[in-house]
Structure 1
């Protein structure tokens, strides 16, 4: 039986059907944990369900949701949250995260839409996070998202994010690639974002590749290798928040599995360097 993630310095991959054969065949040590979207796996049987059970016995799981729509106007799907709680308990999952955004309004919109950075939005989404945590019986981590349109912004993203974390009393899954993409698209310094985030709330990180549309427009795709500038920012994030569990996100356009292993090794190297400095957490 697998045990939960116990080391902050750990590297994981997303459980994608396109990677299933490689994940099942991978020798021990290539990755430390697997992340699943519960929407895609709750109630799944057959060959995919058997593969999930086998992998869950060998590796710790984390869960990253896609459809909870924490910032949306429609009531939270209580039935779905109750199913998620059963799934988390069944697989001994230590971390469930969702996006600090919304994706539904009387139907699923199939996109992660940005929230306005307003006091009203802080109160709205924080109340929904608290409700979700009550139903789940555990803390929730929210992820900073990439966004391309900016609705009403009475405060900057860091101030908004910290306000939500504080009022909801929840954690942060820091997506380093999203910080970089947003910094280019919206003209702020990514180091300033890292410096402003409440360090005590960060419990995990994501890193991914993006598409360079132009020098001033980056598109978060999860379909390419991690860029050098994002690796550099990940190193700075470790210096600020410690060597947190880090997921390499790759959702499509999969390379040879050995190329993903090389990226996982880069995560491990950066984590080892940070731990070796002797200050794995900086408040």
Structure 2
């Protein structure tokens, strides 16, 4: 496991998203350094799945990445969900809670991650809701830069909007490298300009994943394929700029056998070990 002395990170090294389909395949602490799940998929789960999950949370550092907070929704926040997540984190010693900077509900769940308008009004609205969640949890949360395919009512760039929300809410960042690549292609901007414009001191950990090529100028974020070379290269640039950020491999569809996933996890480790830049040391 590669470690850094930067205390801003809740975990270290290379991680993997734990999925129920992996039940029956044993993961050893030497294979991955940390694991991630969506809390909505595990809150209240008992029986053999609950025991299996508990066995992992007792042996591995865990982070959670939510699916249904819907931070940009016009509907009221689901504070009962937030309270359940707080209890879940305490029960399983979860190191960090992250969510998507998007929305997925109004009067009901929409089963997709929809873009928040890049406006000053939306910054204030979303930041207020993030602060409310942090107050209930009694800790900071990390918001993920998301993929999006339209920018309705746009008044500022994606980077300006993201940075404004992080600053106004005083929250942290889950850096999704694949989403930067996908958005850079779809919306025609330089991914390095976006990457280097992010606040290093707010990064908690990173995601890397595969996507679907609909066309040369249209990429769809699916988490259903291996990571491609340009995304690996962008991750390397992130390590050179920020240091070897803890990084998790996401795979949600077309999940291959565990040995294949662990091969990709090992590629993260190799790139972390080959990082030549010194990590940025940030006082929190």
Q: What's the TM-score bracket when you normalise by the shorter of the two chains?
A: over 0.9
Q: Is the 8 A contact 1:70 1:128 kept in 2?
A: yes
Task: Find the counterpart in structure 2 of residue 270 from structure 1.
Answer: 271
**Residue 209 (structure 2) pairs with residue 208 (structure 1):** yes
State the shift of 1:281 in Å: 2.1
State the shift of 1:282 in Å: 7.7
- Quote the Cα distance in structure 2 between the aligned partners of 1:55 and 1:6: 20
- Quote the Cα distance in structure 1 between the aligned partners of 2:199 and 2:29: 35
Aligned-partner SS, 2:111: strand
Root mean square deviation, CA, Å = 1.5
Q: Is the 8 A contact 2:104 2:112 kept in 1?
A: yes
1:16 to 16, 19, 35: 19
Task: Find the counterpart in structure 1 of residue 83 from structure 2.
Answer: 82
State the shift of 1:219 in Å: 0.7
- Quote the Cα distance in structure 2 between the aligned partners of 1:8 and 1:235: 19
**Residue 124 (structure 2) pairs with residue 123 (structure 1):** yes
Task: Find the counterpart in structure 2 of residue 109 from structure 1.
Answer: 110
Q: Is the 8 A contact 2:9 2:205 kept in 1?
A: no
- Quote the Cα distance in structure 2 between the aligned partners of 1:229 and 1:84: 35
**TM-score, with structure 1 as normaliser:** 0.94
- Quote the Cα distance in structure 1 between the aligned partners of 2:184 and 2:76: 32
State the shift of 1:36 in Å: 1.1
Q: Is the 8 A contact 2:11 2:34 kept in 1?
A: no
Single out whichever of 207-216 and 237-246 deviates more from structure 2: 237-246
**TM-score, with structure 2 as normaliser:** 0.94
Aligned-partner SS, 2:147: coil
Q: Is the 8 A contact 2:29 2:60 kept in 1?
A: no
Q: Is the 8 A contact 1:239 1:281 kept in 2?
A: no
Task: Find the counterpart in structure 2 of residue 227 from structure 1.
Answer: 228
Query: Which aligned pairs between 1:14-163 and structure 2 lie closer than 5 A?
Result: 14-22=17-25, 25-163=26-164
State the shift of 1:278 in Å: 5.2
Q: What stretches of structure 1 of length at least 5 have no aligned partner?
A: none
State the shift of 1:27 in Å: 3.0
State the shift of 1:244 in Å: 1.5
Q: Is the 8 A contact 2:10 2:204 kept in 1?
A: no
**Residue 174 (structure 2) pairs with residue 173 (structure 1):** yes
Aligned-partner SS, 1:232: helix
Q: What stretches of structure 2 of length at least 5 have no aligned partner?
A: 1-7
- Quote the Cα distance in structure 1 between the aligned partners of 2:86 and 2:217: 41
Aligned-partner SS, 2:207: strand
Q: Is the 8 A contact 1:98 1:141 kept in 2?
A: yes
Structure having the higher helix fraction is: 1
1:127-171 deviation digits (Å, cap 9, x = unpaired): 000000000111000001001111111110111100000000000
State the shift of 1:8 in Å: 5.4
